[in-house]
């Protein structure tokens, strides 16, 4: 017989940023415990509101599945004495595993015991596993309260475990465990009694709690879009903001507020940032992308007294925008360039120095990139100027108050003080990409400035031994590295990565603060980027063996490695190519035995040897020409013709003959072919029978 299970963990308000991961973890824990305890079910769903995490398991069988236990015991010889009586070894085996003598069998001269363990009633098993669910959920930050023996993200106030219509009774540190749950904190006046799992969602809805976060999300989305249309505008979808609000409310009601039109004279981002980042409001724009003097907020409650709530929110936003206007006006009086010297008083990192030091580093790296990539003189000039001003806005009043505006305000102030628009644009873009999925800078100057800033941070941290470990990455080095990789790939930048890293280490070598030898730090940085690049391309769907085949040869030119991976992935789909790889694997395996890769043509004693070497030498010329032109399709076409002579060679020639000179000469042929192939990629590690 099947019944549904509801297990609600009632808490104080859980931080919204923890909810998604917590729900994912809750589901995985439940799946694991149900599987381990042989409880069959139909489907597991998880739900969350600020005050509860809910596990909902459909069609749970009312009994565990039976379990047949079979264990290997002592050998037949050790199990019985000379009179055929059970020895202590056998008796201990029977007693320890609760086996009966009648259920023993013999296989390969060993005894095996067997017994059937009948499944218990599910409700009894749930009494054991539901407390484990509570303690198994991990949070970024947990707390203890009272005399409780476990930690949780916030104090747990009640537990509601119902299987069908029965309460699953257990004690967890004295926390109330009953059929009683709580409705909305202010709108629901009485406790809610759940007699049956089928009542759960409807009764909580009556108590002004929409348990299903997916339903709440659509409610919010529909409400804010409707209001925006009523005001003649649109909402620019901000999924991150929507997701945060989703877990701040149990019963969402959106409403529209307004602010004085005079604030629209401020830069758009100056108005939007206090709205979104500080007040969690949705701004409204017209169909041209211009900001309107309205905002949409979502309250945790119904429409009662909504005008009072609206007025309160308008008052708070007005104060925020008044502050922003004051800071903006004050900053304009001083100008951006005068702020650069003030960076000497802003510490970036205790050992690495100040933001002024970092600015100097960025200028030097930018200059290096200008030369390496042969920028035009005008772009060199723009990049140098943008690098000089890049951090200046950090000491402005506006960024001190709203740090989310770093870079954005730098662009605004640069334009105000008459900098070239390309310089201002680069300052506004170089923090990009700011997060996974964000765009890269659109301009060349902005892209190179972004690379310079990010590689300086990475090189500095690696210099003094600060590296990401586990979940710890205080300087967001993984994100910085991925940002550099994304810029290089999207902008098709061919560049010596090791040369860039080496240049970035120079200021820290001068300060004599390297934790290890320069070469070891460079190796660490390169390996760090290699892992980031591999993970990024795995997420794009590239096969791991294709990635290893190319990346194991090094990532000195990241974009070039990417081009090889793309081409190799296309060829991988051709059946004939996998046959070629199979032939090359044979070559590679034997080539490892070669000590001297010099071919002595006078030692040839077969047509197969002569033919293979002749085609190889002709192929090598075409192959190297294609490699030099980065024409990797033709490079692979060139080596494709080697398959037949390689196969003929192996079919008709014994390589490891007794004559050591002939043997070494044949190994030399294979070694040279292998070395040529390895210029492109290590094809020997590609999985042929994938």
* Helix 632-640, helix 660-680: angle, nearest 10: 150
| Residue 378 · residue 418 · CB < 8 Å | no
Alpha carbon distance 658, 638 (integer Å): 34
Per the domain annotation, does 529 fall within a domain? yes
Whether the predicted pLDDT of 104 surpasses 90: no
CATH number at residue 585: 1.10.730.10
pLDDT tens digits, residue range 327-343? Answer: 999 999 988 999 999 99
The pLDDT of 259-267, averaged and rounded, is 95
Strands 234-235 and 180-181: unpaired
Residues paired with residue 299 on neighbouring β-strands, in sequence order: 253
Nearest in space to 686 (alpha carbons), one of 527, 595, 552: 552
Whether the predicted pLDDT of 521 surpasses 90: yes
Per the domain annotation, does 262 fall within a domain? yes
- Domain shared by 149 and 235, yes or no: no
- Domain shared by 438 and 531, yes or no: yes
The pLDDT of 303-317, averaged and rounded, is 95
pLDDT tens digits, residue range 187-223? Answer: 998 999 999 999 999 999 999 999 999 999 999 999 9
- Domain shared by 59 and 96, yes or no: no
| Residue 446 · residue 483 · CB < 8 Å | no
Domain with 581, as residue range(s), is 562-685
So what's the pLDDT on residue 83? Answer: 82
Element (H, E) at 46: strand 43-49
Long-range contacts of 559-563 (CB under 8 A, 24+ apart): 559/488, 559/489, 559/492, 559/493, 559/494, 559/495, 560/494, 560/630, 561/533, 562/489, 562/533, 562/537, 563/630, 563/632
Strands 104-107 and 110-117: antiparallel
Per the domain annotation, does 554 fall within a domain? no
- Residue reference for tokens 């008459």: 418
Q: Predicted confidence band at 80 (pLDDT cuts at 50, 70, 90)?
A: confident
**What average pLDDT does the structure give for the chain?**
93
Per the domain annotation, does 557 fall within a domain? no
- Domain shared by 299 and 420, yes or no: no
Compute how many other C-beta atoms are within 10 angstroms of the C-beta atom of residue 633.
Answer: 11
Whether the predicted pLDDT of 466 surpasses 60: yes
- Domain shared by 630 and 590, yes or no: yes
So what's the pLDDT on residue 50? Answer: 97
| Residue 316 · residue 279 · CB < 8 Å | yes
CATH number at residue 461: 1.10.3210
- Domain shared by 125 and 156, yes or no: yes
So what's the pLDDT on residue 291? Answer: 95
| Residue 78 · residue 87 · CB < 8 Å | yes
Which of 156, 172, 206 finishes a domain? 206
| Residue 447 · residue 480 · CB < 8 Å | no
The pLDDT of 544-564, averaged and rounded, is 93
- Domain shared by 111 and 127, yes or no: no
Alpha carbon distance 577, 555 (integer Å): 24
Q: What b-and-e string marks burial along 233-265, b requiring 16 or more CB atoms within 10 Å of the CB?
A: bebeeeeebbebbbbbbbbbbbbbbebeeebee
- Domain shared by 235 and 313, yes or no: yes
Classified as helix, coil or strand, 50 is coil
Per the domain annotation, does 178 fall within a domain? yes
- Domain shared by 59 and 75, yes or no: no
Element (H, E) at 295: strand 291-300
- The total number of structural domains that make up the chain: 5
Which tokens is 561 given? 């490695």
| Residue 161 · residue 170 · CB < 8 Å | yes
Per the domain annotation, does 555 fall within a domain? no
So what's the pLDDT on residue 689? Answer: 64
Alpha carbon distance 245, 199 (integer Å): 27
What's the Rg (C-alpha) of the chain?
34
pTM value is: 0.80
Alpha carbon distance 72, 252 (integer Å): 60
- Domain shared by 328 and 229, yes or no: yes
Whether the predicted pLDDT of 399 surpasses 60: yes
Whether the predicted pLDDT of 97 surpasses 90: no
Q: Predicted confidence band at 59 (pLDDT cuts at 50, 70, 90)?
A: very high
So what's the pLDDT on residue 255? Answer: 97
- Domain shared by 219 and 159, yes or no: no
- Residue reference for tokens 């505006």: 405
Which of 54, 83, 117 finishes a domain? 117
- Domain shared by 156 and 14, yes or no: yes
Per the domain annotation, does 108 fall within a domain? yes
pLDDT tens digits, residue range 144-198? Answer: 999 999 999 999 999 999 999 999 999 999 999 999 999 999 999 899 999 999 9
**Position with higher pLDDT, 99 vs 389:** 389
Which 3-state string (H, E, C) describes 70-83? EEEEEEHHHHECCC
Q: Predicted confidence band at 30 (pLDDT cuts at 50, 70, 90)?
A: very high
Which of 334, 359, 387 finishes a domain? 334
Per the domain annotation, does 547 fall within a domain? no
pLDDT tens digits, residue range 612-639? Answer: 999 999 999 999 999 999 999 999 988 8
C-alpha angle with apex 593: 590 to 596, nearest 5 degrees? 120
CATH number at residue 159: 3.30.70
Alpha carbon distance 104, 224 (integer Å): 70
């Amino acid at each position: 017989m099947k019944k549904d299970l509801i297990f609600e963990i009632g808490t104080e308000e859980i931080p919204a940023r923890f909810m998604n991961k917590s729900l994912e973890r809750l589901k995985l824990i439940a799946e694991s415990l149900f599987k381990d305890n042989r409880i069959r079910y139909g489907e597991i769903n998880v739900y969350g509101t600020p005050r509860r995490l809910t596990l909902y398991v459909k069609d749970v069988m009312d009994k565990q599945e039976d379990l047949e236990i079979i264990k290997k015991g002592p050998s037949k010889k050790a199990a019985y004495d000379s009179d055929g009586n059970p020895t202590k070894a056998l008796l201990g085996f029977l007693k320890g595993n609760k086996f009966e003598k009648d259920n023993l069998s013999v296989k390969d001269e060993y005894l095996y015991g067997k017994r059937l363990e009948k499944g218990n009633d599910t409700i009894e098993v749930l009494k054991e596993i539901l407390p484990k669910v509570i303690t198994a959920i991990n949070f970024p930050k947990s707390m203890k309260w009272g005399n409780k023996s476990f930690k949780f993200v916030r104090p747990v106030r009640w537990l509601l475990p119902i299987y069908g219509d029965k309460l699953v009774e257990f004690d967890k540190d004295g926390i109330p465990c009953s059929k009683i749950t709580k409705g909305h904190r202010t709108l629901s006046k009485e406790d809610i009694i759940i007699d049956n799992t089928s009542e759960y969602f409807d009764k909580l809805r009556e108590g002004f709690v929409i348990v299903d976060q997916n339903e709440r999300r659509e409610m919010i989305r529909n409400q804010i879009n409707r209001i925006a249309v009523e005001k003649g505008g649109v909402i620019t979808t901000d999924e991150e903001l929507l997701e945060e609000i989703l877990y701040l409310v149990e019963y969402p009601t959106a409403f529209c507020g307004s602010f004085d039109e005079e604030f629209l004279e401020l830069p758009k981002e100056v108005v939007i940032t206090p709205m979104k980042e500080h007040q969690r409001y949705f701004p409204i724009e017209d169909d041209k992308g211009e900001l309107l003097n309205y905002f949409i907020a979502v309250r945790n409650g119904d429409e009662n007294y909504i005008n009072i709530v609206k007025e309160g929110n308008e008052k708070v936003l007005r104060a925020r925008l008044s502050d922003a206007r004051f800071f903006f006006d004050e900053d304009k009086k001083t100008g951006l360039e005068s702020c650069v010297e003030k960076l000497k008083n802003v510490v970036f990192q205790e050992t690495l120095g100040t933001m002024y030091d970092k600015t100097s580093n960025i200028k030097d790296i930018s200059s290096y990139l200008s030369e390496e990539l042969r920028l035009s003189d005008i772009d060199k000039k723009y990049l140098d100027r943008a690098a000089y001003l890049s951090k200046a806005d950090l000491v402005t009043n506006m960024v001190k108050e709203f740090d989310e505006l770093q870079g954005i305000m730098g662009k605004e102030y640069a334009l105000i003080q008459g900098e070239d628009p390309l310089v201002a644009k680069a300052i506004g873009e170089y923090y990009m990409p700011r997060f996974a999925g964000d765009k890269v800078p659109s301009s060349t100057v902005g892209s190179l400035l972004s690379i310079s800033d990010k590689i300086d941070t990475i090189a500095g941290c690696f210099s003094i031994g600060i590296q990401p470990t586990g979940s710890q990455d205080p300087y967001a080095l993984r994100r910085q590295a991925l940002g550099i990789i994304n810029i290089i790939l999207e902008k098709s930048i061919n560049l010596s990565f090791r040369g860039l890293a080496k240049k970035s280490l120079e200021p820290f070598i001068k300060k004599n603060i390297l934790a290890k030898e320069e070469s070891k730090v460079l190796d660490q940085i390169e390996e760090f980027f290699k892992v980031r690049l591999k993970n990024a391309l795995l997420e794009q769907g590239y096969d791991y063996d294709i990635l290893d085949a190319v990346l194991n040869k090094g990532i000195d030119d990241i974009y070039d490695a990417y081009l090889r991976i793309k081409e190799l992935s296309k060829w991988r789909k051709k059946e004939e190519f996998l046959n070629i790889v199979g032939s090359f694997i044979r070559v590679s395996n034997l080539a490892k035995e070669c000590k001297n890769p010099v071919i002595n043509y006078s030692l040839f004693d077969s047509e197969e040897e002569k033919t293979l070497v002749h085609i190889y030498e002709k192929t090598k010329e075409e192959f190297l020409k294609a490699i030099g032109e980065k024409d990797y399709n033709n490079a692979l076409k060139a080596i494709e013709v080697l398959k037949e002579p390689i196969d003929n060679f192996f079919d008709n020639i014994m390589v490891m003959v007794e004559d050591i000179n002939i043997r070494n000469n044949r190994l030399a042929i294979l070694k040279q072919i292998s070395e040529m192939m390895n210029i492109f990629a290590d094809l020997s590690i590609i999985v042929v029978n994938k």
